[in-house]
Amino acid sequence: MFYKTSKSQAARLFSAIRVYGLSQENTPPPSTHDQIWTSVQVAENSENFDIAEEILSKAIRQRISPEHTALYLGELALINLARKRYDKVLDICGSLLGGDSEIEARHPNLHFNLLACLEIATFLQAGGDVAEVPFHGHTLRFAISGQNSELEFQHIRQKLYEPEEVELILKHMGEEDIVLDLGANVGNHAIALATARPNATIHVFEPIKKTCELLRRNIALNGLTNIDASNLDIAVDSEDGFLNMVQRINLASSREANEGIGPAIPKRALRSLWPERVDFIKMDVEGAELRIIKSVLDLIRRDRTKIILECYKTTVEQDFADLAELGLEQIDCIERSAVFNVLVQPK
């Protein structure tokens, strides 16, 4: 949702066009925001970043609205961060943040993204590439790539991403549990769990190639031997097949796509990947949670597997009803800004 923007904020947003060095001439014919945003995603997915930048630059010159200009400039910051153009990142973010509290008040997500880009660019420009995070008497190490700003922003600040969820899992996790991390991303949760529970085994699953590369590096950086990474580069679902993924410039924003957009990634039925037993599952599979749970419900009941998953506040009542219908009862829960992290187990 976009909010009304004041004249001072609009002036700041449009002044960022000059900072970025975009010409005001030869403005292209109008395009809708949906057309622009789809084109950017397709370009990013195929790693045609010059084309993505050109589309965004033309969109900025259109001046659809100050709000859209802010969104496009934020995406340009992410692209330049991933492409190691740190001076441009600092220019864009500095011009937009520059002491104007209105962006933080009216566009908190944009403000967060710009601040993340600014701090990560500063960290990388200074020669840093690994962040150290203190955790339960250990020091966790995470590679900083500039391609996963939401997580890396926390890591360079010496914090875990979603620490409350990690602690909730540890509260209910046994010393020798077998855990499935479905949607492991770069290993934020898995590395913390494997470090705190050295006798447990964590099986990680992640479909995005670049994310898998970072996950493997993070496992190596922490010298962990109790993480099984033999099933990376595949998606987990209720049945075998393929799915298309749009790989965004910010890896955490990658999503399943319509056929024909993004590479076809093999997916495997969770049933075929189930080890001798499963004590705990962390699920972050972009809406496929219920379908996957149903496909292995008999195994979940047999092993009395605990499952932690996200329920959006907008759908939480229906989500709770669906889980209850499957015989899964809530045993713990934490509330975050837009979601509940819910822990369930067979009754």
Residue 186 lies in a domain: yes
pLDDT per position as a tens digit, 83-105: 999 999 998 888 888 765 677 77
pLDDT per position as a tens digit, 52-70: 999 998 898 888 887 788 7
Identify the CATH number of the domain in which residue 203 sits.
3.40.50.150
Residues forming beta bridges with residue 346, ordered by sequence position: 328
The structure's pTM equals 0.87
Residue 72 lies in a domain: yes
Q: Are residues 107 and 30 in the same domain?
A: yes
If one counts every other C-beta atom within 10 angstroms of the C-beta of residue 318, the result is 10
Q: Are residues 72 and 38 in the same domain?
A: yes
Sign, CA dihedral 279-178-294-335, equals: positive
* Helices 188-196 + 163-172 axis angle, to 10: 40
Q: How many residues does the chain have?
A: 347
Is residue 133 a contact partner of residue 142, using CB atoms and an 8 Å limit? yes
How many domains does the chain fold into?
A: 2
Residue 21 lies in a domain: yes
| Domain ranges, residue 12 | 7-125
Could you give the count of Cα atoms lying within 13 Å of 17 in the half-sphere of its Cβ? 22
Tell me which of 73, 98, 125 is where a domain ends: 125
Q: Are residues 194 and 94 in the same domain?
A: no
Mean pLDDT over 240-269 rounds to 75
Mean pLDDT over 195-216 rounds to 96
Q: Between residues 338 and 135, which one has the greater pLDDT?
A: 135
Pairing assessment for the beta strands 241-246 and 255-257 based on DSSP bridges: antiparallel
Among 38-42, 169-173, 248-252, 336-340, the minimum mean pLDDT is found in 248-252
Alpha-carbon distances, residue 336 vs 1, 104, 111, 313 (angstroms): 19, 19, 19, 9
Pairing assessment for the beta strands 264-269 and 235-237 based on DSSP bridges: parallel
Query: Is a pLDDT exceeding 50 seen at residue 194?
Result: yes
Residues forming beta bridges with residue 334, ordered by sequence position: 341
Residue 44: what pLDDT? 84
Query: Is a pLDDT exceeding 50 seen at residue 286?
Result: yes
Could you give the count of Cα atoms lying within 13 Å of 289 in the half-sphere of its Cβ? 24
Residue 55: what pLDDT? 92
Q: Are residues 103 and 211 in the same domain?
A: no
Q: Are residues 170 and 120 in the same domain?
A: no
Residue 64: what pLDDT? 81
Query: Is a pLDDT exceeding 60 seen at residue 21?
Result: no
Residue 2 lies in a domain: no
Among 107-121, 149-163, 187-201, the minimum mean pLDDT is found in 107-121
Residue 201 lies in a domain: yes
Q: Are residues 46 and 99 in the same domain?
A: yes
Could you give the count of Cα atoms lying within 13 Å of 174 in the half-sphere of its Cβ? 12
Is residue 215 a contact partner of residue 189, using CB atoms and an 8 Å limit? no
pLDDT per position as a tens digit, 176-185: 999 999 999 9
Query: Is a pLDDT exceeding 70 seen at residue 32?
Result: yes
Q: Are residues 237 and 181 in the same domain?
A: yes
Q: Are residues 230 and 337 in the same domain?
A: yes
- Across the chain, what does the average pLDDT equal? 87
pLDDT tier at 259, thresholds 50, 70, 90: low
Tell me which of 70, 101, 125 is where a domain ends: 125
Is residue 87 a contact partner of residue 16, using CB atoms and an 8 Å limit? no
Residue 65 lies in a domain: yes
* The three-state (H, E, C) secondary structure of the chain, written as one string: CCCCCCHHHHHHHHHHHHHHCCCCCCCCCCCCHHHHHHHHHHHHHCCCHHHHHHHHHHHHHHCCCHHHHHHHHHHHHHHHHHCCCHHHHHHHHHHHHCCCHHHHHHCHHHHHHHHHHHHHHHHHHCCCCEEEEEECCEEEEEECCCCCHHHHHHHHCCCCCCHHHHHHHHHHCCCCCEEEEECCCCCHHHHHHHHHCCCCEEEEECCCHHHHHHHHHHHHHCCCCCEECCCCCCEEECCCEEEEEECCCCHHHCEEECCCCCCEEEEEEHHHHCCCCCCEEEECCCCCHHHHHHHCHHHHHHHCCEEEEEEECCCHHHHHHHHHHCCEEEEEEEECCCEEEEEEEEC
Residue 62: what pLDDT? 85
Q: Are residues 54 and 13 in the same domain?
A: yes
Using CB atoms within 10 Å of the CB of residue 221, give its burial: 0 to 12 exposed, 13 to 18 middle, 19+ buried: middle
Mean pLDDT over 244-259 rounds to 67
Residue 1 lies in a domain: no
Q: Are residues 229 and 299 in the same domain?
A: yes
Tell me which of 125, 154, 186 is where a domain ends: 125
Alpha-carbon distance of 80 to 88, in angstroms, equals 7
Mean pLDDT over 33-42 rounds to 86
Q: Are residues 146 and 85 in the same domain?
A: no
Q: Are residues 215 and 328 in the same domain?
A: yes
Q: Between residues 150 and 14, which one has the greater pLDDT?
A: 150
pLDDT tier at 253, thresholds 50, 70, 90: low
Query: Is a pLDDT exceeding 50 seen at residue 346?
Result: yes
Residue 164 lies in a domain: yes
